[in-house]
Amino acid sequence: MCHVCEEYTIKLPTVICDSGLELIEVTDSSPKGHRNAVEQFATYFRREMHFGFVQYSANEPSGGRYEPFIPTVAYLFTHTGFLHYNKSGKSTLKAFGACCFRERERADGSKGWELDWVWVHPYKRRQGILGRHWDCFQRRFGAFTLCPPISEGMQRFMEKLGVLKE
């Protein structure tokens, strides 16, 4: 496939998992395949939002040699309908999206979690994926904020939650 055509291709990564989870937490110590899947979705996010850089690195998810350490937790969105078994009998899932949280210092000097980015396959958008997991994210990260710029889709979602006003 040529480089130009590759820019328009969306491939769903496969991750090895223990069960048919719909939400897989990915940290610095997660398997490389899980981190690679998050990076792939971050690449799709960069393309769609026209950013100049990818928001997540599988090799150094929480920063590295050139950046300060920023605690990072990502999630892969999957569905039990995507559960398969490979030749060695291990269960695998296709992921169709990801989101990433980072702990950052706020203007008042306190630290807090921020939803840095979310990318979901276009065919799976508007199916309530983020809404189904929103309470889980709030329990895990408390009163997190959104990292700007906020896409039109995220703005509509937040208005629906009653968090942002029109």
Per-residue model confidence as pLDDT tens digits over 103-121? 998 888 889 999 999 999 9
Average pLDDT, the chain: 86
Q: How confident is the model at residue 153 (pLDDT cuts 50, 70, 90)?
A: confident
Q: Which two tokens stand for residue 99?
A: 């989101």
Mean pLDDT score, 69-92: 82
Residue 127 has pLDDT above 90, yes or no: no
164 vs 16 pLDDT, higher one: 16
pLDDT for 164: 60
Per domain, the residue ranges of the chain are 27-63+72-161
pLDDT at 1: 61
Distances (CA, A) of 129 to 8, 97, 120, 124, 159: 23, 9, 9, 8, 16
32 vs 65, higher pLDDT:
32
**CATH class given for the domain over 27-63+72-161:** alpha beta
Confidence of residue 39 (pLDDT cuts 50, 70, 90): very high
Q: 72, exposed or middle or buried, with CB in 10 Å at 0-12, 13-18, 19+?
A: buried
Name, in order, each residue with C-beta under 8 angstroms of 149's C-beta and a sequence gap of 6 or more. 49
